[in-house]
Amino acid sequence: MIRILVIEDDASVLDNLEDILTLENFQVFTARNGREGVDMALRQLPDLVVCDVMMPEMDGYAVVKCLREEPATKTIPFIFLTAKAERLDYREGMESGADDYVTKPFRPQELINAIEVRLARHASLMQPYHDETQRSTNLSKQLKDSTELANIKENLLDQLSQDLREPLSNVNLALHMLGKAQTDAERERYLSILRQEYAREMRLLKDVANLREMVTAENLQVLQKFNLLRKQD
């Protein structure tokens, strides 16, 4: 739901504006003077601000200047409401940082149109920023996945090295004993050990090769979900 802050010191006008905007399915926040409005804007970060010009404590010009100086509110669309219709007043409002100017008295649809135009324009201006943010997010994820893949493949090589040590040790031992064998039965026994350890080593190499083929960016999360791979920190 789009959130709109209305800053107006006239209670009857404020209530009327709140009713109009609520009927249009906007979420409305209200403030009764400029200083309260600035505080409310910084807390709520609305999608758009509608503000009277002539108010006690802090007028509308000061409000928009304050909001434009704050990083969190500097791009929020800002519409002035005022009974002052002189060209100089309009220019001052625009130079202060306002985006539009609606003169009292106004028809409800006139205000709604102004709000919709400013929201659409703001969305259009912000789209490249959102696209760039999404690209940066995607790039960061790809980089993270690439790092995880590199770490996992390194771990596979480490595990392969450890798993191959045992059959290689057995092979070396069997070869040593084969050289010392004195009977055909002893030689056959150690040859059988060599054949078994060779087959075991081939199975290990095949399993590791198959597992490495599974470790891709596309199925990394699936492998981690089913604990087929230890998730990297």
pTM listed for this prediction: 0.57
Backbone angles phi, psi at 58, to 5 degrees: -150, 120
pLDDT tens per residue, range 186-195: 777 767 776 7
81-97, pLDDT tens digit by residue?
987 655 556 667 777 78
Question: Domains (ranges, CATH) in the chain?
Answer: 3-106 (3.40.50.2300), 141-225 (1.10.287)
Q: Name the burial class of residue 115, with classes exposed (0-12), middle (13-18) and buried (19+) by CB atoms within 10 angstroms of its CB.
A: buried
Whether 66 shows a pLDDT value over 90: the answer reads: yes
